Chains A and B, each alone.
Chain A
């Protein structure tokens, strides 16, 4: 094969090496979760002797199911609010050449620059002052707020290219602007909605610092704060920690592998 040059070998080598570097820690996590404590201590590298599933049971009993459910609820609710609220705002802004609305657009975009770490103190005081600590609302509303700037920009660009004939037809049929948005614009914005939803879901699913601050009650914890408690729960039970992490990570990785095209397209959108 004349095609199989030294350059090709080098390229394959480099890419394979990095892929291995990425995969090995995840593989080790899964293997370690099937070992006994003693086995892991004596032989950290070997395969598990008899694939002990006890660690998975111990980890599950900490409440992994509850954490996953909370994360699903929080992510679902936040993403839904972000899509509808950002879509409504972007629609008005994209259909107007009013100078004041131009300023409103810039204001919303400016929100993208504010990192949540820089406003932890006031946010905590506001939410604890409102008596909303340890409620899912305490987390859904700020998550929604921090997702709005980027999503509004994304929808704004999408709506600018959106054919105006359809909404004019709806307008002539007597549809109000609000009805037009919900009945015509939003249903026809599938690609933009999917892209924005995946992007925000990845970040909200993994969000940690606000959840750490606002959710102390184990019944209400989301997955990232739930798993950080694993370390405290199992002081030297490493297999249980690895099993808990496997329970947290493997479903997401499975979803990612099945829909990787959409994930990649959505997250690469940040570069545009």
Chain B
């Protein structure tokens, strides 16, 4: 904060701007700090505090529970199913969304630059649609009676799963993963495409003189040049995979028999359907720790970029 240059001899006028600069800095910062405190930081602290108590949705009485909510979680098989499902979504999304996204981006950048805009628009489009709507469309497509998928499968003489795609606990989480890939692969492609467009063309020209073209150039020039973008993509996907809620809630609600439960939906179920607010807070704290760790990694990696 620089004080205004005071050419005049009056000492008072040299002091006032200093004071008013501080005051205006305070005024400009207050709304942001207030909103973030009330809706982000204080709730986070309350979630941590609440995880050491037992209380219901309407009850005012908080009973001290020590670490029992945590020991309960670590002994709860559904908690572990939820965590495992988050991991499936995270690893599956990294593999397929970033894998396919990279291939698509590389093709559009080097192979088909003239039709890139059209394809980019189509493939990115699901990103702007709400996950709830996406979930509902797919729910109908996958429906055993009216769905398009079963009709296609039957028309080629195969038999679809008896319990339905989302009703069979052994495959439902993989179907959810497929829907997530449908929605977000385009987003990954666009992120990576932005990274590819920053690679100087001369690099490719030089490599081509040395005989490195096509796949060889992709391995030795493209991939190393976008290492940082890929890292950011992995972090965004990982964070998104741990935060997934809408898609599961609108397709399976965590079912059948908790087979597609994730941390987000399990927190919601425990808190607002079963009324175990303290227990829900303990699971929330696990999610919070994972998210903060990943957020910290993201901050570090983006600074390096």
Contact = CB atoms under 8 A, between A and B. Distances in A.
Interface of A: 7-8, 11-12, 14-16, 18-19, 21-23, 25-26, 28-29, 32, 40-41, 43-45, 81, 84-86, 88-89, 91-93, 95-96, 98, 101, 104, 107-115, 117-126, 141-142, 144-146, 148-149, 152, 171, 176-178, 181, 202, 205-206, 208-209, 212-213, 223-225, 227-228, 230-231, 238, 241-242, 245, 248-249, 252-253, 256-257, 260, 263-264, 267-268, 270-272
B264 interface: yes
Contacts of A21: 182
Contact of B214 (A7, A225, A248, A249): A7
B31 interface: yes
A91 B103 CA distance: 40
B42 A122 contact: yes
A123 B39 CA distance: 7
Contact of A92 (B28, B107, B111, B298): B28
8 closest A-B pairs by CB: A113-B295, A145-B39, A122-B46, A89-B32, A119-B43, A206-B130, A177-B24, A122-B43
Interface string B34-53: 01101111111011001000
22 contacts: A19-B119, A22-B123, A44-B150, A45-B151, A88-B32, A110-B292, A114-B44, A117-B268, A117-B287, A120-B271, A121-B267, A148-B32, A171-B4, A176-B20, A202-B128, A206-B131, A223-B130, A228-B136, A249-B133, A256-B125, A267-B127, A270-B191
A120 B133 contact: no
B296 A113 contact: yes
A54 B281 CA distance: 46
Contact of B148 (A28, A88, A119): A28
A98 B302 CA distance: 23
Interface of chain A: mostly helix, strand, loop or mixed: helix
A18 B189 CA distance: 12
B247 to A, nearest CB: 9
Interface string B239-254: 1001101100110000
B182 to A, nearest CB: 7
Contacts of B133: 224, 227, 245, 248-249
Nearest to B119: A15
A111 B130 contact: no
Interface residues of B, number: 106
A152 B21 CA distance: 20
B190 interface: yes
Nearest to A112: B295
Interface centre among A11, A118, A149, A177, by most chain B C-beta atoms within 10 angstroms, is A118
Interface centre among B143, B152, B295, by most chain A C-beta atoms within 10 angstroms, is B295
A267 B102 CA distance: 17
A81 to B, nearest CB: 8
Given A122-B42, A178-B27, A19 B130 contact: no
B249 A145 contact: no
A207 B281 CA distance: 21
Nearest to B134: A25
A7 to B, nearest CB: 7
Interface of chain B: mostly helix, strand, loop or mixed: helix
B284 A120 contact: yes
B272 A25 contact: no
B1 interface: yes
Given A209-B268, A248-B130, A270-B191, A111 B41 contact: yes
B264 A209 contact: yes
A96 B112 CA distance: 46
B195 interface: yes
Nearest to B149: A44
Contact of A267 (B46, B190, B263, B285): B190
Given A208-B131, A223-B130, A268-B191, A15 B137 contact: no
Interface centre among B128, B245, B271, B299, by most chain A C-beta atoms within 10 angstroms, is B128
Given A45-B151, A206-B131, A92 B41 contact: no
A242 B140 contact: yes
B32 A86 contact: yes
B147 A44 contact: yes
Interface stretch (B161-169, B199-207, B228-236): B228-236
B12 interface: no
Contacts of A25: 137-138, 141, 182
Given A85-B35, A206-B130, 6 more contacts: A95-B1, A115-B243, A121-B277, A122-B50, A206-B246, A230-B136
Contact of A118 (B1, B21, B285): B285
Nearest to A272: B305
Contacts of A114: 40-41, 44, 288, 291-292
Nearest to A31: B148
Contacts of A228: 132, 136, 250
B49 to A, nearest CB: 9
A117 B284 contact: yes
A258 B249 CA distance: 31
Given A108-B36, A238-B140, A177 B25 contact: yes
